[in-house]
Amino acid sequence: MGCLAYELATGDYLFNPTYSDDNDRDIEHLNLFTKYLGELPRYFQRRGKYANSYYRNNRLIRVNVGRESSIYELLTYKKKWPSQIADLFANFLEMLLNLDPAKRPSAIRCLDHPFMTDVHNFSAMHHLYLRKEWSDVEDEEDSYMSG
């Protein structure tokens, strides 16, 4: 649910590995999870069929996955969101992406989150969408003019 919310709000994947080799891509994917959500619980690490390919001495094989160290930073630095909206939305996503399924909120509880209840957030999201649409048009014009 959290990944879908991020994709709907930004138009990008939250956890999008860039390596082309399947094994490297899987390691990068796990590194992205760990970077934004924290270490995976040991029981997650051990039960995977290919866990030995990704973990050495109970530690994830590390690869470089960019400079942003949190969902908030991803929203503010990469997506240029205002900090107040980014903070609320990051908190909302982190709640949805809790690594322990038992601690994830119900749909009703999600609707009570401040990000969902404050009408100003929807207005700000609409403004961000319009700003993105306008920058996409400018990018297309720039590529047309230079091509």
Is residue 28 packed enough to be buried (19+ CB in 10 Å), middle (13-18) or exposed (0-12)?
buried
Q: Where are the domains of the chain?
A: 13-66, 70-147
Give pLDDT, residue 23: 61
pTM for this entry: 0.74
Structure tokens at 124: 């700000």
CA–CA gap between residue 127 and residue 134 (Å, rounded): 11
27 within 8 A of 63, measured Cβ to Cβ: yes
Residue type, 68: E
Provide the 10 A C-beta neighbour count for residue 128. Answer: 19
How far is it, in rounded angstroms, from Cα 106 to Cα 3?
16
Q: Which of 3-12, 47-56, 57-66, 81-90 has the least mean pLDDT?
A: 57-66
DSSP H or E stretch at residue 55: strand 55-56
pLDDT at 121: 63
- The token duo for 19 is 């390596």
Comparing 76 with 51, which gets the higher pLDDT? 76
- Kindly indicate the confidence band of residue 141, based on its pLDDT and cuts at 50, 70 and 90: very low
Q: List Cα–Cα distances, 127 to 8, 51, 55, 83, 130, in angstroms.
A: 14, 43, 43, 14, 5
For residues 91, 96, 99 and 104, what is the CA-based torsion angle, rounded to 10 degrees? 110
Residue 90 above 90 pLDDT?
yes
CA atoms within 13 A on the CB side of 104: 10
